[in-house]
Amino acid sequence: MKKFVKFVLIALIPLFACCGEKEKGISVEKIIVEPSFTTIKVGEEVQLNVKTVPSVAMSELTYKSTNPDVATVNGEGWVKGLSVGVTYINISWQGLRSARCTLSVKEKVSSLLDPTEAIKAPLSKDILLTSTTLYATGNIMQDGDRISDTGPFFFTQNRQSTSLENNSKYIVYLTKHDKVNEKYSSYMCLKWFGHGNMMLCENTEDGEYIWLSSHGQATYGTYADYGSNHTFSRFKYVANSTAEHCAGDTFWMDSYVNNAGEKVSITALEVNVDFENRRVVVGGRSTGTRHFVMFDLDEMLALSSENINITRSWGGEEGTPKRVSQTETIRAKNLTKLKPLGSFTLKSNLSSTDKSLLYSYNSQGFAVWGDYIYWYEGNAVETTSGKYDDSVAYVAVLDYLGNIVCPRTKVAAASDFANQETLLDCADHYCEAEGLHIHDGYLYLGIGTHNSKGHRIANMLKYKCIQKD
C-alpha cells in the first residue's frame, strides 16, 4: 500500500560544488529532506518529500539505501520497508550536493496516544492504581514504574536531607513492592548514583532491570545532593544489595548533534525507553534549557563499551570516604557516536509570572512513545505554613521537533485536595508530580504525598489514552 506522507523536519548535508557546475547552467545549492527521520511498517511504501534549491525534478536525483535488506528506494524517492531494522536513504545530485534521512522499519508503528481528556478526571479509586508507604521518612518519591498493573512496583526515593538515613546522606533507595498497595518487600541502596529521578523498569527472562542516572556529581551545601551526571545505567535488581556509582551496562553522553548539525553540550542525563517501538529519549540540561535527544534503541544497545574518562566529585558527607574530586576511567557505551532520530529543546519559564506557559513548573518526568514525547511538570506549592493548596501538575505531548501535538493540560487529580484527604489521608494537601510512563496504551503518572502520620506516600495513577492514527 502506497501513501504520501507530509513531513516537516529539514536535514542538510551540503557538499562543495565543483567548477563545472555553472557550466551546466544549474547551481543546486542544497537538498532538503523532510524529515531527517521517519518510521514505516514492514511492507509499507512511502514517498520521501525531497526538494532542491533551485528546484529540480525528483527523477534527477540519485537515491540509495545503505541497507537494502531493510528497505529499498527507487528513482522517484519511494521507499519500501522489507524487514525490521534501520537504514539510511542517501539522496544526491550529480555528486555535488547530498542529504540523508534515517528510515526505521518496524513490524507496527504505534499511534499517538492522547491523554488530554483522561487527565481532566478528578482523583478517584478508578484511576488510583496503587498507593504505598515509602522506606524513608525524609524526601518524597522521585519516580515509580511497574512490571504489570498487579505488581511488582518499583519506586525511587533519595535520602533524608536533614539527618542521616541508614548512616548515609548520599543513598537513593530503590524499593520493590510486590503487589498493589503493599509495603516494600525489599530495597536496593544506590550510592553516589544521582538524585533518583527518571527511573524505569524492564522485565526480562533474566529478571527485572532498572534504568537510572548514574555517576552523580556532588553539589555541596547544607547537605550533598547528586546530579550533573553524564551517564545512566541499566542494571539488574538485586534485593537488599548496595551498588556504588553505577551498575550493569552504562551509557555516556556529554553532547549531541542537533537538527541543524550543531554540536550541543549537555549534562544531567535522564532516560526513558519505549520498548515496543524501540525508541529511547535521553534528556539533558544546559543553562535555562532542557534538551531531548531521541535514538533508535537497537542502535544504542549495539554499541560496544569503551574506556571513557569522566571527572566528578563525590563523598565526604560523613567524613568516610573523604570528599574526592577526580578523573576516572569507566567502561561505557558512547552515545555521541549515534545519529539522533531527532532533538528539540524547551526553554525554562520557571521565573515567569505567566504560568500558562510550557515549562512554568519543575520538570517531573518525560517519556517517549513512538514518534512523540510526553512531558510532565508540576510543583507542590505551599500557600500558608504547612498547607499546599496550590499544588499543581500538567502534561503535554510534543513531536520530535518540539511542536505541541496534545495541549498542555492540567492533571486534575494533583489539585483535587478533597479527594486527596479521603483517598490518600493527605491533610496537608502536599502533592508533587513525580514520574511519567507509557505502557500498552495507558498513561501512568506518579504523585508523591504525605499522610497524617508524616509518612511519604508513593501513588501511581493510571489513565486510558485516546488512540489517534
DSSP annotation string for 207-227:
EEEEEEEESPEEE-SSS-EEE
Predicted TM-score of the model (pTM) = 0.80
pLDDT for 167: 47
Q: Which residue numbers in the chain have pLDDT < 50?
A: 1-23, 163-167
CA distances from 397 to 116, 348, 370, 376 (A): 9, 17, 12, 9
Q: The cell 522517484 sits on which residue?
A: 76
User: Do 13 and 56 contact (CB within 8 A), yes or no?
Assistant: no
Q: CA 252, CA 269: separation in Å to the nearest integer?
A: 9
- Grid cell, residue 84, equals 525490521
Q: CA 231, CA 267: separation in Å to the nearest integer?
A: 9
Q: CA 153, CA 435: separation in Å to the nearest integer?
A: 13
Q: For residue range 129-176, what is the model confidence (pLDDT) as tens digits?
A: 999 999 887 788 999 999 999 999 999 998 755 544 444 567 899 999
What phi and psi values does residue 300 have, to the nearest 5 degrees? Answer: -65, -45
- Count H helices, E strands: the chain? 2, 39
pLDDT for 401: 85
Q: CA 156, CA 141: separation in Å to the nearest integer?
A: 6
pLDDT for 329: 98
User: Do 79 and 45 contact (CB within 8 A), yes or no?
Assistant: yes
Q: CA 168, CA 172: separation in Å to the nearest integer?
A: 10
Q: CA 429, CA 415: separation in Å to the nearest integer?
A: 8
Q: CA 377, CA 382: separation in Å to the nearest integer?
A: 16
- Grid cell, residue 19, equals 567548477
